[in-house]
Amino acid sequence: MIIYRPDEIRSVSGARKWTLVYGRRKTGKTFIVENYVKYDLYFFVNRDTTILSKTDNRLLSYEVFVELLTAKLAAGGTVVVDEFHRLGGRFFDLLHSMKKNGKLIVLTSTLFLVSRLISANSPLLGLFHEVRIPIISLNDCLASLKHLDNKKELMELAVVLREPLVAEQFGGEGTARRLLAEVLIGSVKTVPALIGEIFTEEERSISAIYEGIMRSVASGKVVSGEISSSLFSKGLIGKDDPSVIQQHMDNLIRLGILSRVPVYGKKKFVYKMQSPLMRLFYYADERYGISERKLGKGEAGRIVDEIMPRIVEDNVRELLAERLGLGEAVAESGDFEIDGLLLRFKEPAAGVEVKWGKRVGEDDIRKAEANLGRLKLERRILFVPDKKMLKTDALEVMDPSDLRAKP
């Protein structure tokens, strides 16, 4: 299924200067540029550093590539170089020395290179307008599912289609949970490769730390202290200190693999995985060891059922914050927790409770009323699969139909 992504298309095609397009593998970088951006020449750099001209399907030497690229840019044309990091230092030196004529669009999925390019000491700093391509937005997925009437299925399908790898395999039939389970079964070896060339060869020795962070977050260790303790127990870091992994955490956020949500009233954050498929895989592998054995349909379905409510909860909180123009946060205090707090100037303006079971009953409503009633809020929102027949004077009840239309 192809999901139209107007914001990302506008960000890439609307830039007037040289543009760096980056993000982890399989987020749609190449698809967006190839199909929605006007260009004169498109080059793809292979792993062996040979260069394919996708404009006329020719394999080029580096010298011919440079000649074509510099001539077209000098004439004011638009040139795309996909996986440009594979060309290494000599190409970076060339870019630094060139006059900034024309429009050059370079694509990469390498975290190390992105960190270098936008660091304060980079010789290429300031040359590029930076565009990060994350997973697909929930807004765009909801807009692409206008035909669905089942509200719960609408929400779950929109959430799982945020992962482009899942969207590629969706043919318009089946439930979201079945689709996600099938993709999990068929991707046990593929999912770890989604981060692909994030790590260059000189970083292989620390790539285990990045994977350890993702595994910890997916398995429920979402505070930096818990994450560092987990990595220390596995021998991945030398001491149990969150500061040791802070740069790694920042790098994963920068690339769009993790997001960071503040805990209201406390000087700490919780970390969440952006991709529902990556979150599902690492959760399932940490808890059930699925990468070491054959995974059956029944077990895959049960694992999806376990984690789906939490994935929906995070997506609802994120989207409501965006829709209402408020900051996203979570709250925890003593014997109660609130699924989401939405902040205005660091003060809570709205609270969100998400109930995503098969049936939302009176007990669920009373608990949400009690939790949200403990704070002074302008809006108290209860989000459910279907608000029909639910009655409460204390809460504003919302369901996926309230999110379908982007304002």
Exposed e or buried b for every residue in 146-179, given b needs 16+ CB within 10 A? Answer: eebeebbbbbbbbbbbbbbbbbeebeeeebbbeb
Write the single-letter amino acid at 377: L
Widest pairwise Cα distance in the chain: 72
Cα gap 168→394, rounded to integer Å: 42
Assess whether pLDDT exceeds 70 at residue 117.
no
Assess whether pLDDT exceeds 60 at residue 370.
yes
Cα gap 371→348, rounded to integer Å: 14
| Class for the domain spanning 6-132 | alpha beta
User: What does the pLDDT average to over 196-202?
Assistant: 55
Digit-coded pLDDT (tens) for 343-360: 998 899 999 999 998 888
Cα gap 132→247, rounded to integer Å: 18
Q: How many other C-beta atoms can be found within 10 angstroms of the C-beta atom of residue 215?
A: 19
Among 113-127, 220-234, 257-271, 294-308, the range scoring the smallest mean pLDDT is 113-127
User: What does the pLDDT average to over 254-266?
Assistant: 89
pLDDT at 255: 80
Residue 161 contacts residue 167 (beta carbons within 8 Å): yes
Assess whether pLDDT exceeds 80 at residue 268.
yes
Assess whether pLDDT exceeds 50 at residue 164.
yes
pLDDT at 148: 87
Residue 385 contacts residue 151 (beta carbons within 8 Å): yes
pLDDT above 90 covers a percentage of the chain that reads 67
Residues comprising the chain, all counted: 407
Digit-coded pLDDT (tens) for 276-286: 999 999 999 99
3-state secondary structure of 137: coil
**Phi, then psi, of 265 in degrees rounded to 5:** 80, 5
Among the four given CATH numbers 3.40.50.300, 1.10.10.10, 3.40.109.10, 3.90.800.10, the one describing domain 191-292: 1.10.10.10
Q: What is the mean pLDDT of the chain?
A: 89
pLDDT at 202: 45
Spans of all domains in the chain:
6-132, 138-188+296-404, 191-292
| H-run or E-run covering 333 | strand 327-333
Residue 129 — pLDDT band, cuts 50, 70, 90? Answer: confident
pLDDT at 93: 85
Of the candidates 109, 53, 56, 58, the one whose C-alpha atom is nearest the C-alpha of residue 84 is: 109
Digit-coded pLDDT (tens) for 64-77: 999 999 999 999 99
